[in-house]
Structure 1
Amino acid sequence: MSTIEAGLRYAETHEWARLESDGTVSVGITDHAQEALGDVVYIELPALNSTLTAAQPVGVVESVKAASDIHAPLSGTVIAVNEGLTEAPEGVNTHPYQSWFYRIQPSNPDELQQLLDADGYKAIC
């Protein structure tokens, strides 16, 4: 069974979002998503400084089984990307909640509260 961490917010498209102390939001894919994908072999991340719109496809995760779009859980500007994942994408399989894909400066912080909490995400899984 997949791990669903309390304190994070979740998109129905299986991305997690964590509010950081500086007001930025880290984004990655859930344990459920990485289990469904299997061994991750490639990750395409959004460009630094790109402007994202909530629910927009912003990248791709490829595994030995399939390729899946990464969606923006909220709108804003990409302020950091985890380049380490492009070199070692398998980290998503072993540590999905530590393996953030990118950080965003939200343009509308209220969108974070519109995402699912852990119980809501568990219900859709």
Structure 2
Amino acid sequence: MQEIPGDLKFNTSHEWARVEDAGTVTVGISDHAQGALGDLVYVELPSVGDTVKAGNACAVVESVKAASDIYSPVSGEIVAVNAALADQPETINEDAYGDGWLFVVKPDNLADELDELLDPDAYAELIEGDDG
């Protein structure tokens, strides 16, 4: 199992959130999620300027096995998307916690929403339950 970075928070639906120095939140899917999906072949991202709500679907990733909705871990405005994924969705498989990020949110109410997310240890316990 890949090491889970300690600076991330997680949804139970396997999205990660990293709070950046500028106060924005970078979002992606966990290494566990990309592994369960298999080889990704298509990514549909929200648009810059879109408003997202925590817990609501705002993107889609498709693999050779299935399509899966991506749920935003925080509410706010989309300020950046990883456009490179349109041509290289496999980047998520290769580097889920790095170059495979999906989008960046300028959050509305970060502190309260972060408290709702799982820390790396709690997420590790969640996925151990998935595996066994």
TM-score using structure 1 length: 0.97
Q: How does 1:80-119 map to 2 (within 5 A)?
A: 80-98=80-98, 99-110=100-111, 111-119=113-121
CA distance in 2 between counterparts of 1:3 and 1:94 reads 14
What's 2:130 paired with? Answer: none
Q: Unaligned regions of 5+ residues in structure 2, if any?
A: 128-132
How many residues align structurally? Answer: 125
TM superposition outliers: structure 1 runs of 4+ over 2 Å: none
Q: Unaligned regions of 5+ residues in structure 1, if any?
A: none
CA distance in 1 between counterparts of 2:33 and 2:117 reads 16
CA RMSD of aligned residues (A): 0.8
Task: Please give the secondary structure, in 1, of the residue aligned with 2:43.
Answer: strand
Q: How does 1:1-125 map to 2 (within 5 A)?
A: 1-98=1-98, 99-110=100-111, 111-125=113-127
For 1:46-74, what per-residue CA distance to the aligned partner results, in whole angstroms no more than 9, with x for missing partners?
11101111000001000011110000101
For 1:67-125, what per-residue CA distance to the aligned partner results, in whole angstroms no more than 9, with x for missing partners?
10000101000000010011100000010001110000000011123210000101110
